[in-house]
């Protein structure tokens, strides 16, 4: 019952934040949309930012659980394994973003409307994501599957790719098949852009 109200509030908030922006959405709008009284809001959330943070936390918890958490790099053995796994992860990410498109919008576009205190909390999610990716890369490097580029830098580049891949999959080309998106992302990530024939005549030496 109680949980039901919290859920309704979160759903309404996610919708409104996405539509009108975090700042422009008033608590009054949220409760009106959720069909409860103004005061009820404060029985379930400390205040407006804390509801936002709860939404963001949920998004990241789900994303982490469905991706990195399920794919420890240690088990990898060949480049083929890696390739398949990376593609699977890209697929999961894209599907996750599309399934939770409102939350995705929220994380990608609204997360910065908060005050520094809460923003720090959110940035920590990104840092944790980067950390997890860096660890994954280091493991794969030790297995000789991945080049010896600085793992933390690459991890952050991957974070950026993921953000924009989700952006693309949700906003730019919402109808592009997930499979092909995941395939392209994988190829770009693992093999780069350079046409092999061109590389032969003049790659990174």
- Which residues lie near a copy of itself (CB under 8 A)? 20-21, 23-24, 78-83, 109-116, 119, 137, 144-147, 149-150, 152-154, 156-157, 159-165, 167-168, 172-173, 176, 181, 184-195, 197-204
Which residue reads 């350079």 in tokens? Answer: 194
Taking CB atoms within 8 Å and a gap of at least 24, the contacts of 36-43 are 36/5, 36/8, 36/9, 40/5, 41/9
Given a contact cutoff of 8 angstroms between Cβ atoms, the answer to whether 123 and 159 are in contact is no
Angle of CA points 190, 172, 112, to nearest 5°: 90
Question: Measured between alpha carbons, how far is 86 from 84 in angstroms, rounded to an integer?
Answer: 6
The site partner of 115 among DNA, a copy of itself, none (C-beta below 5 to 8 Å per kind) is a copy of itself
- Using CB under 7 A as the binding rule, whether residue 47 contacts DNA is answered as yes
Residues 48, 100, 105, 125: which binds DNA (CB under 7 A)?
Answer: 48
Q: How far is the CB of 56 from DNA (least distance, A)?
A: 16
| C-beta closer to a copy of itself: residue 21 or 72 | 21
Question: Measured between alpha carbons, how far is 66 from 157 in angstroms, rounded to an integer?
Answer: 20
The site partner of 137 among a copy of itself, DNA, none (C-beta below 5 to 8 Å per kind) is a copy of itself
Q: How far is the CB of 194 from a copy of itself (least distance, A)?
A: 4
The site partner of 27 among a copy of itself, DNA, none (C-beta below 5 to 8 Å per kind) is DNA
- Using CB under 7 A as the binding rule, whether residue 77 contacts DNA is answered as no
Residues 7, 19, 28, 127: which binds DNA (CB under 7 A)?
Answer: 28
- Cβ neighbours around 140 below 10 Å, total: 21
Given a contact cutoff of 8 angstroms between Cβ atoms, the answer to whether 121 and 54 are in contact is no
DSSP state of 175: T
* Number of chain positions touching DNA (CB under 7 A): 19
**Helical ranges in 21-115 per DSSP H:** 27-34, 38-44, 48-66, 79-99, 101-105
Does the CA dihedral 60-65-68-72 come out positive or negative? positive
| C-beta closer to DNA: residue 5 or 11 | 5
Q: How far is the CB of 61 from DNA (least distance, A)?
A: 23
Residue ranges binding DNA (CB under 7 A): 1-2, 5, 24-28, 36-44, 47-48
């Amino acid at each position: 019952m109680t949980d039901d109200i919290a859920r309704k509030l979160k759903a309404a908030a996610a919708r409104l934040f996405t539509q009108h922006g975090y700042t422009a959405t008033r608590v009054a709008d949220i409760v009106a949309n959720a069909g409860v009284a103004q005061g009820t809001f404060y029985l379930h959330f400390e205040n407006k930012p804390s509801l936002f943070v709860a939404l963001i936390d949920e998004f990241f918890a789900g994303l982490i659980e469905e991706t990195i958490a399920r794919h420890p790099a240690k088990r990898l053995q060949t480049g083929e394994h890696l390739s398949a796994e990376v593609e699977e992860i890209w697929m999961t990410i894209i599907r996750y973003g599309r399934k939770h498109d409102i939350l995705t919008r929220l994380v990608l576009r609204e997360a910065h409307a908060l005050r520094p205190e809460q923003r720090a909390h959110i940035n920590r999610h990104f840092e944790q994501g980067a950390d997890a990716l860096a660890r994954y890369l280091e493991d794969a490097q030790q297995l000789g599957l991945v080049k010896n580029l600085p793992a933390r830098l690459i991890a952050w580049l991957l974070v950026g790719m993921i953000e924009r891949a989700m952006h693309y999959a949700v906003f730019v080309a919402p109808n592009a098949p997930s499979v092909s998106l995941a395939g392209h992302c994988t190829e770009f990530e693992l093999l780069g852009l350079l046409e092999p024939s061109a590389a032969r005549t003049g790659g990174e030496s």
